[in-house]
Amino acid sequence: MTRVVARIAAMSPREIRVRATQELLKRCDAAAARLGRRWLGPAPDVCGRFFFEPQQLPAIFDMLRRELPREMERTIADAERIRRRTFDLLGYRGLGFGDPIDWHLDPVHGKRSPLVPWYRIRFLDFEAAGDHKILWELNRHQHLVTLAKAWRLTGDNGFLDELIAQWRGWRAANPYPLGINWASSLEVAFRSLSWIWVERLLFDQPFAAELRAAQTLNARHIRRYLSTYFAPNTHLLGEGVALFFLGVLYGVPRWRDAGWRITLEQMEKQVRPDGFHFEQSTYYHVYALDFFLHARLLADANGIPVPAAYDAGLERMLEALAAISQADAPPRLGDDDGGRLFDPRRNMGRHMTDPLATGAVLFNRPEWNPGLTEETLWLLGGRRVGRAARTPRSTAFPDSGVYVMAAGGWQLTVDAGPIGWGNGGHGHADLLSVHLAREGREFLTDPGTASYMRAAERDWFRSTAAHNTLEVDGRSQALPAAPFAWRNMPAARVEKWRSEPAFDYFRGSHEGYAPVVHRRHVVRLEGWWLVRDEVEGPGEHDVAAWWHLGDGVHARLIPCGGWERVEQDTPRSPAYGLIAKGRSICFRTRARLPAEFAVAIIPGSDAADLEARDEPGRKIFECAGRRVVFRDDGEVEVS
């Protein structure tokens, strides 16, 4: 009770009013349902322009067959599995939800949420609902879009019949306002967007009117229960975008205006000045970017003015994504959510560059273009832009603390940003961690996320030991308080950034182990990298430097400092829910501080040693015929 009182005392009058109103409306909806209220009205008219017109569909499918034949083959194969009611969701393969489909089941953990008013369901309680992300992924109905495309591609009415049967079965199993599938307005938003795509693909079928009629209830629910204070991040953004789509396409100005206002506000709020999303997560950056891109293109198609500041924000987000994707394998900073706005199958690290294909056309930036994607064809039809080689460029993003060293096809990224926004819900304890890749293959990798709901896995995958950084006394830089919160929120401090044609130099520190301070130096030379760690503070401590290896490019870690080397298997998660075996190297020691350790990272297998010596006023490292001098005045010399 004390915590509740304290929480209310911290709220603004507007937050109290909004939350109190929502609580009252929830109970009114439940009471109305018990009294037999019918929630559906007549189907709204089709008013606005979508990304394509019905008469354009034959040409779009011709382009898809001609230019992306494997994608079309995969769509049909996926639809065949869906028709057999077997689903690939997130990182899971071949999931079965029963026949008829149990829309409230987490089949991985065998847990089913109850059919009670949605506000009474504790969906963050694993024992009560299992992993809600698994069942919500199915209930987003993106797989119905796959069935609709397969029907158009093949003319097989079995796909259409299965789509209609599943949708009507869902309606019967999810009477409003009962069940977990009404418990998140973001999930209602995703489902609404899926239904829009299905309705536009099935424009000439009587079933399309059923879809439109059901959208009225979805829009009402989203508008009433916006995540204004519950999750004012990608949740609120996704809800705003869905309202905008519903309002534009079905001619309801109050939905359109509310959705567009939210979308514009969230561009200003969620995107840092340097272009990165404030969640400090690569996946959530792409998540938000997808929402912003789709909304922008719909606005343009319907003659709705797009503010210059919005386009500038989009360009900054795209440029940031392009900068961390120069090796075609962006680092997976922070949480990996597993979902996507357009195609949920494209949820691996290599798919995070997809928005660049659309952005390259929209802003005429051929150097961003990673190659044609199905999403870009649907969004932009025949509009194209060529591809241009991007000159490798080291870049600093000081607002988010992301520092990119790029040369010779290689990219090393330093994470020196805050753990996250607010309570750091989607950030990891990865201060001063590094990631190294070349040509889409990783040498130093981030192990991913695995699960939001299995506590032991959740805490390990976001721990310091799971990242390429330094651990002191076996504890993380930050300690978890809940699945989406931390007890403490240390931040890195960037002390030096210098970028020259022949080398880059980064120096930063943090006090996540206070009173112990970890300082890391990273130097890019021609053909190799030097990482030097310093640990300062009182007393004696266990210190470990972790390095998580990718299974792509070959390089060597050459240590200097006499610490014990331990190789071991550690888990990795290439996608949410998928856990595979990874390999790590840990250098560790117990030492009285101050202590230091250095590693040279050298591609290939050529033998080399890293040698160090102290001279008055400077520390010298030599390897592979190059010398790095750290001067006591904080400057660095390379020769």
| Extents of the domains making up the chain | 1-37, 68-181, 395-638
Angle, to 10 degrees, between the axis of helix 185-201 and the axis of helix 142-154? 10
CB-CB contact of 342 with 290 (8 Å): yes
* Backbone φ, ψ for residue 562 (5° rounding): 75, 15
CATH code for the domain defined by 395-638 = 2.70.98.70
- Which residue intervals of 181-276 are DSSP H helices? 185-201, 207-224, 234-249, 253-270
| Higher pLDDT, residue 491 or 310 | 310
Indicate the DSSP class of residue 390.
P
Each residue of 51-69: pLDDT tens digit? 999 999 999 999 999 999 9
Tell me what percent of the residues of the chain surpass a pLDDT of 70: 98
What is the rounded average pLDDT for all residues in the chain? Answer: 94
Each residue of 98-144: pLDDT tens digit? 999 999 999 999 999 999 999 999 998 999 899 999 999 999 999 99
User: Which tokens sit at 27?
Assistant: 């109970």
Each residue of 445-494: pLDDT tens digit? 998 999 999 899 999 999 999 999 999 999 999 999 999 999 999 999 99
Query: What is the rounded CA–CA span in Å between residue 522 and residue 7?
Result: 43
